[in-house]
């Protein structure tokens, strides 16, 4: 598996990042909220988000990189006088993630009188390119807090997209696309009621064609 694939326009990826050593990324609820606000600032302009979970020492996101024209538009907004060199796009998206992690780490360090790196120096990303893998990754992300023993039911963990997808509150997550993918709210809930065998999470098959419209 290629965990360091370039982040290309229109592709879907499972993103993970982890704290260095035994450090924690989040110590208080305000830390989680601040990270999500930074995520919205840096990542929402370049990617759509289908699922996420923030755990004390690592994070998970399922995203789709925006189409190339939208990335160009955002690039020109940030760098109005910048020149688009050949192959600029993956590096530009990765830079947005770098800005996210650096911005959060600086604030976290200042708040906690801390110095040094907070995140390990690489971000794993795995392309999701089949229907079953897409469904299983959403399940994996939402079940992850249960798997690691932070709660007993996925609905008990406040820092994931599970309850956001089920709610009616305004959100930038692609709620309706996710619900439509599973069929409806009831089927989404039923899929998440599977036993937690995360290494074998591909339990429901969909048609071979894979397109999130």
Q: Domain 12-200 falls in which CATH fold? A: Alpha-Beta Plaits (3.30.70)
SS3 label, residue 18: strand
> Which residues contact residue 178 at a Cβ distance below 8 angstroms, ignoring those fewer than 6 apart?
50, 51, 138, 165, 188
pLDDT digits (tens, 9 = 90+) for 6-60: 999 999 999 999 999 999 999 999 999 999 999 999 999 999 999 999 999 999 9
Nearest Cα neighbor of 44 from 13, 65, 58, 68 is: 65
Average pLDDT over residues 151-173: 95
Alpha helices per DSSP H over 43-167: 68-78, 88-111, 131-147, 162-166
**The predicted structure's pLDDT at residue 196:** 61
């Amino acid at each position: 598996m290629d965990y360091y694939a370039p982040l290309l326009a229109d592709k879907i990826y499972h993103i993970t990042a982890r704290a260095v050593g035994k450090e924690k990324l989040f110590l208080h609820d305000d830390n989680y909220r601040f990270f999500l606000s930074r995520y919205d600032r840096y990542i929402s302009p370049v990617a759509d988000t289908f699922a996420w979970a923030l755990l004390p020492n690592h994070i998970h996101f399922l995203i789709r990189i925006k189409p190339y024209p939208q990335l160009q538009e955002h690039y020109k907004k940030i760098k109005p006088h910048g020149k688009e060199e050949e192959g600029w796009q993956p590096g530009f998206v990765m830079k947005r993630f770098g800005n996210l992690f650096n911005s959060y780490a600086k604030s976290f360090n200042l708040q906690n009188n801390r110095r040094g790196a907070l995140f390990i120096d690489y971000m794993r990303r795995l392309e999701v390119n089949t229907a079953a893998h897409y469904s299983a990754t959403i399940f994996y992300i939402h079940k992850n807090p249960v798997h690691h023993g932070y709660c007993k039911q996925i609905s008990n963990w406040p820092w994931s997209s599970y309850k956001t997808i089920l709610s009616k509150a305004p959100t930038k997550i692609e709620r309706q696309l996710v619900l439509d993918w599973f069929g409806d709210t009831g089927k989404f809930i039923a899929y998440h009621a599977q036993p937690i065998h995360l290494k074998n999470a591909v339990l429901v098959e969909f048609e071979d064609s894979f397109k999130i419209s």
